[in-house]
Structure formats: C-alpha cells, structure tokens
Amino acid sequence: MKIMIAADYRKLSQMAADIVAKQVQTKNNSVLGLATGSTPEGMYSILSHMHRQDNLDFSEVITFNLDEYVGLAPDHPQSYHYYMKHHFFKQVNVKSCNINIPCTEKNNPEKVCREYDQEINNSGGIDLQVLGIGTNGHIGFNEPGRLLSVDTHIVDLTEETIEANSRFFKSKNEVPRRAVTMGVGSIMKAKKIMLLASGLNKAKAVKEMLSGKVTTDLPASLLQLHHDPLFILDHEAASLFQAKE
C-alpha cells in the first residue's frame, strides 16, 4: 500500500496525471478505469495538456468508466457521459470505439450491467483504475451498507450522496435516485488502483479508509486488501489520518 501526500490540489492532480501518463507510455494499449466528480478534473486537464504539448498518445487506450446515473441521456449536462466528453475525451485522441460508459438510457439496466463486466474481461482487465472517494466512503457508487455487490449493478443512492451531488444540479430533486456502478469486485480486479482525495470534507472518510480495518460501512476500506493500491491525498484530506500517525 502506497500513500503519497501532495501539498495542494494542483500537486495532487500533477502526481495523478504523471502516473496515468507513465501507464500509457509503458503500455500504449492500457485499459484505464476512469472516475468522474470534482477530484479528477485537474488530472484530466493536465493529461489533456500533455496530449497537446507532448503528444501523449491515447489512440490505443481503452477506457471503462466506473458509473453513470440511471435515466440521464448521454447528452444531459450532468450525465457522466457528458462530463467525460467535456473534461477528457474531446481533448485527447481516445477512439470513440474504445470508450465504455454504462448507458441505461435505451437499454435494459440489468443487461447493461451483465455486459459491462464481460466487456472489461474481454479487454484483458483494467490496468489502472482511478477512483475518488465519497464523504461517506463510497467508491464508484458502492454505498455503505451491510452488503456490497461484487459485479456491476444498479444501486439506490444514499441521501448523503444525493445531497453531495446536488451541487451539480439546479436542485436536489433533480438528482437521479439510481445509478449503475462497477461493483467492488470489478474494482478490486484492477491490476493497479489509484485513489485521489482532496479537501477537508474527505478527511474523516480517508482516516477510516486507511484505518487498518475493513468494513462494508466504508466501502473504500476494502482497498486496503488490494495488492497494489496507491492513495494520493492532499494535506487537507490527509489531515486526520496524519494526526493519528
């Protein structure tokens, strides 16, 4: 388990982008697992810059996104399809046929879930999975609870997540109540995992994630069982964890 502490969000984003760039340079047909949310925005922006400036080549890269809301059309400005296009895909040269994001708009959600894990396996498995963490310790949309699902599945979002994500919508009522997410098993199968956490509002979840104990009440704590996880934290997100050290 490796933990890197960055002085601030900008440095965290640079560290994360450097790791993705190295992955892609080492294996040009890398399979990347990607996350949305505020945290990886800086990383996507730096990677886009590296593509323009240094010809960082994504032409053979295959991507799988962690999750998507159920019921939002891909062109809805709050959909994760839209986010990925805006922040990353239209800035770099990933081929559209190599982009995978679960889409339930016109398809049966259960079928989408079944086929998604199959597609990941067919691609050879995820080489590097990028993750954020929710204030309640969720990864993807695997919410705290008594049971966690192994495979890609449909999930009812918790009030805490709906509240946290309402900042992207006009009102809380507009936040979809359900999402498709890769399961904890799909995530743990990735060859490498890189979790990013920034800001004081993540400090408690980060402390519990790295506590040495594993619980379904804090899904990110499972990552301690992965064979090659990297946690990149900024000082604020690391503050309670470091206070404990």
Which active-site residues does the annotation give?
67, 136, 138, 143
Give the footprint of ligand F6R on this chain (CB under 6 A).
35-39, 66-67, 132-134, 138-140
- Our measurement of the distance from residue 134's CA atom to the centroid of its chain's CA atoms, rounded to an integer in Å, reads 10
State which residue, 50 or 101, has the beta carbon closest to ligand F6R: 101
**Residue 60 or residue 176: which is nearer to ligand F6R going by CB?**
176
Residues 84 and 101 sit within 8 Å (Cβ to Cβ): yes
Q: Which of 76, 56, 59, 60 is nearest to 68 (CA)?
A: 76
Question: Of 52 and 153, which has the nearer Cβ to ligand F6R?
Answer: 153
How many CA atoms, within 13 angstroms, populate the side-chain half-sphere of residue 149?
A: 17
Chain-centroid distance, C-alpha 147 = 20
Taking the complex as a whole, the smallest distance from the CB of residue 232 to ligand F6R amounts, in Å, to: 13
Considering beta carbons, is residue 59 or 215 the nearer one to ligand F6R? Answer: 215
- Please, what is the minimum distance in Å from the beta carbon of residue 53 to ligand F6R? 25
Q: How far is the CB of 162 from ligand F6R (least distance, A)?
A: 11
| Contact between residue 49 and residue 142 where contact means Cβ atoms under 8 Å apart | no
Q: How far is the CB of 81 from ligand F6R (least distance, A)?
A: 12
- CB-based closest residue to ligand F6R: 132
67 vs 234, which CB is nearer to ligand F6R?
A: 67
Q: Tell the smallest beta-carbon distance from residue 111 to ligand F6R (Å).
A: 21
